[in-house]
Structure 1
């Protein structure tokens, strides 16, 4: 009996392991912010920059690069710094560019409203 190949999405995370390319990019972005902000004794990135990379605040730019926008600050203090870091996660030719690193400029994105569901076709609006 022939087996069909699993779709790429199924192979992407079969054991709860993150996409290694995204994980590498996220780590490099966080490490760049740590370096520019004085090291780990002076700066810690927000918790979303640790753990599962797929849960980090990133945008896939569609050209092999990722942009991460995250906050950080002094350890055990509320964040005061916002960083925007673009990463090309090619291990042979990595590019890490800090596009912004300064005072927090943006509010967290608002929660997206749930889509409105049209009434079933057998119900009329009054």
Structure 2
């Protein structure tokens, strides 16, 4: 029951956020569409769905927080806009108590969520931070 309440609250916030700027440019233009072809509201909702999915998969807000880019303007969200119009969010997260001596978060999770144009989603990866490949 608590799972559904958290998910409903997280998804309910989707329409309340004033952010409506477009996401950052795709990393690879050959496999992604131009940013202008994506509805800014879809980007906003997609980001919020991806964040809520990660929060749910990691035990809720008491156990997990997504990186700041997943809370601020959509222009800072780590997203790739795919050719088919889907959105791929890959972002880091941390436990609220895991902070450096300066109070900065110490990231230990990585989540990859695919948001389809029909607003269904799939968590493709949720686990330890993967090594960066060159």
For residue 45 of structure 2, give the secondary structure of its aligned residue in structure 1.
helix
SS in 2 for 1:51: coil
Q: Which runs of 5+ in 2 are unaligned?
A: 1-18, 22-39, 99-105
Residue pair 1:57, 1:68 contacting (<8 A) in 2 also: yes
**Shift in Å at residue 17 of structure 1?**
3.1
Coordinate RMSD, CA, aligned: 1.9
Answer yes or no: is 1:95 the counterpart of 2:88.
no
Query: So what's the TM-score if we normalise by structure 1?
Result: 0.66
Give 1 or 2 for the bigger CA radius of gyration. 1
CA distance in 2 between counterparts of 1:82 and 1:106 reads: 10
Question: Given that residues 69 and 85 in structure 1 are in contact (C-alpha distance below 8 angstroms), is that contact kept between their aligned partners in structure 2?
Answer: yes
Work out which of the residue numbers 81, 84, 94 in structure 1 matches 2:112.
84
Q: Note closer, same or farther for the CA distance 1:48–1:70 as it changes in structure 2 (3 Å cut).
A: same
Q: In the alignment, what sits opposite 1:106? A: 131
The corresponding residue for 1:17 is 20
Alignment of 1:30-109 (within 5 A): 30-77=51-98, 78-90=106-118, 94-107=119-132
Higher relative contact order (CA 8 A, sep 6+): 2
Instruction: Output the CA distance in 1 between the equivalents of 2:112 and 2:46.
Output: 13
Dislocated runs of 4+, deviation >3 Å: none
Once the 2 structures are TM-superposed, how far is the Cα of residue 49 of structure 1 from its aligned partner? 0.3
Q: Deviations over 1:32-63 (max 9, x none)?
A: 00000000010000000011112100000121
TM-score under structure 2 normalisation?
Answer: 0.62
Do 1:24 and 1:89's aligned partners in 2 also have CA atoms closer than 8 Å? no
How far apart are residue 106 of structure 1 and its match?
A: 3.3
> Structure 1, unaligned stretches of length 5 or more?
1-15, 111-126
